[in-house]
């Protein structure tokens, strides 16, 4: 396994290492630039996995973070920097995303303060600092929404898999089947010092210049992350459907034959089970991960229902899909039984008039004092132009896109009020939600408990 937190960098203000590849908040170490040129050098003959442009449904997710993904976004007119840690701000954003019929929103998180350096804390005061727990935020938004999927990020290195599993199951109950989970490892020594019970590999400047080399010292954390997801999945299955029988005649509330110990033994922890939380509406909430290289592709193949990748053009997308398919093969995953949905991440700056978005980004760069670069391709342009791009890349076999708004709420509103109608006009995006669960939106079945199957 290789690859990991992608040091090609985006000013992801919360970025710590992600099990599937996170982002480098500096952007300064980006070896390829973020202009979309990297993908151009990729294999031109990569197989296009899907045919026609609009044959398969196109899915859209939105990645919410702070005031938007540009580090100067909080200083834009229309930003609400004093409210970034308060409920009402997030309620407004998610309501807007739901109006746009978006499949799901993700919430970034970390157990350390944001930093401009991938592997180290900093003392900067000119960027957004401070965050709230993403699972609790998502749960808070659940009763305020009805259809949109809610996908919080959690750390899996310093937390207890049992707590995480019951938290996400509870989110699924609270949202009536709209919970997802983005597990993320943490390699920062500073985060480890917040817990004081283990150390993590100390990365060097050299490590973080390349996604493949940064993944090497983190291999063990990734496999532990995969164990955390496996333990959670078993806990989610540990109550079969119908375990609660309320049989007044025998006085039994539970059928204990349908409630199972999981007896999970991992390299660094073990979990006896069963869960304290009954099986949730989706059975298995949706696991989403972000990946930039081989190690996180394998993590996704083992653990995820959706993998977000970061191609920079159409051939790059096809090449990455081929790598993901290889990882799936290596891990022996049966994708007929457990499909893996693929999304491409894009940072977007959108304005209706050509040229305006690029000028806006340039102005933000100037305010920030550095050009904004990212692990993901940065799109500046019109909603029509973005629709062209999405449909073009979609034809490689990508199931959808996770759009990271450059500024909030501006670029989110452009997605929901301009991009979505444009895609609808082209018959490429839903005109109403056809289901009420996140699995339903993505066309994924509700799995049967593994313990029930075992019989």
Which residue from 159, 216, 323, 424 is in contact with another protein, where contact means CB under 8 A? 159
**Residue 328 is a binding residue for another protein (CB under 8 A):** no
Which residue from 29, 53, 54, 170 is in contact with another protein, where contact means CB under 8 A? 170
Report yes or no: 357 and 381 within 8 Å, Cβ to Cβ. yes
Query: Shortest Cβ distance from residue 51 to another protein (Å)?
Result: 42
Query: Shortest Cβ distance from residue 55 to another protein (Å)?
Result: 37
Which residue from 95, 254, 356, 362 is in contact with another protein, where contact means CB under 8 A? 254
**Residue 110 is a binding residue for another protein (CB under 8 A):** yes
CA distance 449 to 258: 10
Given the rule CB under 8 A, which of 93-101, 250-258, 324-332, 341-349 is the region that contacts another protein? 250-258
- The verdict on whether residue 109 carries a ligand-binding annotation is yes
If phi > 0 it is left, if psi is from -120 to 50 it is alpha, else beta; for residue 427 that is left
**Would you call 245 helix, strand, or coil by DSSP?**
strand
In 191-340, where do the E strands start and end? 244-247, 252-254, 264-265, 270-271, 286-290, 306-309
* Chain-centre distance for alpha carbon 37: 24
Nearer CB in complex with another protein: 110/376: 110
CA distance 266 to 260: 18
Q: Segment 220-239, which members bind another protein (CB under 8 A)?
A: 239
**Residue 81 is a binding residue for another protein (CB under 8 A):** yes
Containing 400, the helix (H) or strand (E) segment is: strand 400-405
Q: Segment 348-377, which members bind another protein (CB under 8 A)?
A: 367
- Phi, psi angles (nearest 5°) of residue 256: -70, -15
**Residue 197 is a binding residue for another protein (CB under 8 A):** yes
**Residue 386 is a binding residue for another protein (CB under 8 A):** no
Interface size with another protein, residues (CB under 8 A): 81
**Residue 130 is a binding residue for another protein (CB under 8 A):** yes
Which residue from 3, 5, 167, 201 is in contact with another protein, where contact means CB under 8 A? 167
Which residues does 41 contact at the CB level (< 8 Å), separation at least 6? none
Residues 350-385, buried b or exposed e (16+ Cβ, 10 A)?
A: bbeeeeebeebbeebbebbeebbbbbbbbbbbbbbb
**Residue 256 is a binding residue for another protein (CB under 8 A):** yes
Query: Shortest Cβ distance from residue 120 to another protein (Å)?
Result: 12
Residue list for the binding site for FMN: 109, 153
Residue list for the binding site: 109, 153
């Amino acid at each position: 396994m290789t690859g990991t937190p992608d040091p090609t960098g985006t000013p992801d203000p919360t970025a710590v290492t992600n099990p599937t590849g996170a982002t480098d908040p500096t952007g300064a170490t980006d070896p390829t630039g973020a202009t979309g040129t990297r993908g151009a050098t990729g294999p031109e003959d990569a197989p296009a996995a899907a045919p026609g442009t609009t044959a398969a449904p196109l899915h859209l997710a939105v990645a919410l973070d702070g005031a938007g993904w540009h580090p100067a976004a909080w200083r834009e007119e229309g930003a609400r920097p004093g409210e970034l840690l308060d409920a009402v701000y997030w309620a407004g954003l998610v309501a807007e995303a739901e109006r746009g019929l978006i499949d799901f929103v993700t919430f970034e998180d970390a157990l350390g303060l944001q930093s401009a350096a991938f592997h180290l804390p900093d003392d900067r005061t000119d960027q957004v600092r401070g965050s709230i727990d993403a699972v609790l935020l998502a749960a808070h938004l659940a009763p305020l929404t009805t259809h949109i999927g809610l996908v919080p990020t959690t750390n899996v290195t310093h937390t207890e898999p049992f707590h995480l599993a019951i938290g996400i199951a509870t989110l699924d109950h609270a949202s009536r089947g709209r919970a997802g989970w983005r597990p993320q490892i943490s390699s920062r020594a500073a985060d480890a010092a917040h817990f004081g019970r283990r150390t993590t590999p100390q990365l060097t400047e050299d490590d973080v210049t390349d996604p493949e080399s940064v993944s090497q010292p983190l291999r063990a954390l990734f496999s532990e992350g995969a164990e955390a997801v496996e333990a959670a999945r078993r806990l989610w299955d540990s109550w079969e459907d119908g375990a609660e029988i309320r049989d007044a005649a025998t006085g039994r509330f539970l059928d204990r034959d349908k409630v199972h110990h999981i007896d999970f033994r991992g390299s660094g922890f073990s979990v006896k089970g069963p869960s304290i939380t009954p099986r949730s509406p989706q059975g298995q909430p949706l696991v989403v991960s972000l990946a930039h290289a081989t190690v996180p592709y394998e993590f996704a193949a083992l653990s995820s229902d959706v993998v977000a990748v970061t191609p920079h053009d159409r051939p790059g997308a096809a090449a990455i899909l081929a790598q993901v398919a290889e990882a799936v093969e290596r891990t022996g995953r049966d994708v007929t039984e457990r499909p893996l949905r693929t999304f491409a991440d894009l940072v977007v700056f959108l304005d209706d008039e050509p040229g305006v978005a690029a000028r806006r980004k340039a102005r933000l760069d100037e305010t920030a004092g550095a050009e904004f670069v990212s692990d993901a391709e940065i799109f500046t342009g019109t909603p029509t132009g973005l629709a062209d791009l999405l449909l073009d890349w979609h034809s490689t076999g990508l199931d959808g896109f996770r759009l990271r708004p450059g500024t909030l709420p501006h670029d989110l509103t452009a997605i929901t009020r301009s991009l979505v109608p444009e895609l609808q006009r082209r018959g490429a995006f839903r005109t109403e939600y056809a289901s009420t669960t996140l699995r339903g939106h993505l066309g994924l079945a509700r799995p049967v408990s593994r313990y029930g199957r075992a019989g």
